Amino acid sequence: MDNLKQHIINKEESVISITGLYKSFNDLHVLKGIDFNLFKGENVAVLGKSGTGKSVLIKIIVGLLQPDKGEVYVLGKQVDQLTVKELNALRIRIGFSFQHSALYDSMNVYQNLAFPLTMNIKNLTKKEVDFAVEEVLDAVGLTNKIKQMPSDLSGGQRKRIGIARTLILKPEIMLYDEPTSGLDPITSAEIIELINEVQQKYNTSSVIITHDLTCAKNTGNRIAMLHKGKFLKFGTFNEVFSSDNEQVRGFFNYNFIQ
């Protein structure tokens, strides 16, 4: 938690700004008029049970889904107004760490990391690619796995390599989708530490989608509690969970009484 206290957050600059966001799928109303800001250098953990709209929110942020109503600005750009070319340029500035790592099984670790770099930045020398791969592997503590295949890695190692692959393009924003899901407590703690290290070293601003209270508490400078398509509460972990709101208390009990 020391990292969270020491990190400098610029509350004068929003890197994500969402106002009045609605999203439905036929008769299923998923997001019901939410407002959200992510400040430069900040980690916000978005908490909520499955089906509350967390994943829909980040898909709208990166332009994979269109909002029905409302405005979504990312790094100063209104996402749903961008051309395909402009949207692709914006996405390069956003790192997306998938829940299941999404590594290419047919490629070794080096190839998985080099692929997004060579696809997005032309005319790089082999030496430049090698340096970038080694740099991000060092950042996630897995330099000795450079020639391994994904099938030879543990779940936690695959998560780390997935994060390394997003870091190789030096994104300004990181989106983490359930980063500790399916991991044992020790490995979860290592991923939590890595998320904080990424914030410090790369000065990223991050949205961490999770239902894991331990992850949220130890990574989020602020917590955003999402319930049935609306944010119930924003604030520090203690501010959110000192609430008398029944849904907030129920989520806390759901996590810690099981």
Among 31-35, 93-97, 230-234, which range has the highest average pLDDT? 31-35
pLDDT at 130 over 80: yes
Q: How far apart are CA 81 and CA 256, in angstroms?
A: 42
| pLDDT for position 257 | 44
**Tens digit of each residue's pLDDT (9 = 90 or more) over 218-230:** 999 999 988 888 9
More confident residue, 218 or 252: 218
Which residues fall within 8 angstroms of residue 256, CB to CB, at 6 or more apart?
213
- Of the options 3.30.565.10, 3.40.50.300, 1.10.8.100, 1.10.10.10, the CATH number for the domain spanning 1-93+175-258: 3.40.50.300
Residues ≥6 apart with Cβ < 8 Å to 16: 36, 37, 38, 61, 72, 73, 74, 173, 205, 207
Q: What integer best gives the mean pLDDT of the chain?
A: 88
Q: What residue segments make up the domains of the chain, in order of their start?
A: 1-93+175-258, 100-170
Q: What is the pLDDT of residues 161-179, one digit of tens each?
A: 999 999 999 999 999 988 9
Cα atoms found within 13 Å of the Cα of residue 65, Cβ hemisphere only: 20
What average pLDDT score do residues 124-145 get?
Answer: 94
pLDDT mean over 92-105 = 83
Q: What is the pLDDT of residue 255?
A: 60
pLDDT at 152: 94
Residue 2 has pLDDT above 60, yes or no: no
pTM of the model: 0.88
Pairing between strand 69-74 and 77-78?
Answer: antiparallel
How large is the average pLDDT for residues 184-197?
91
Q: Is 206's pLDDT higher than 60?
A: yes
- Rounded mean pLDDT of 20-37? 94
Does residue 77 or residue 120 have the better pLDDT? 77
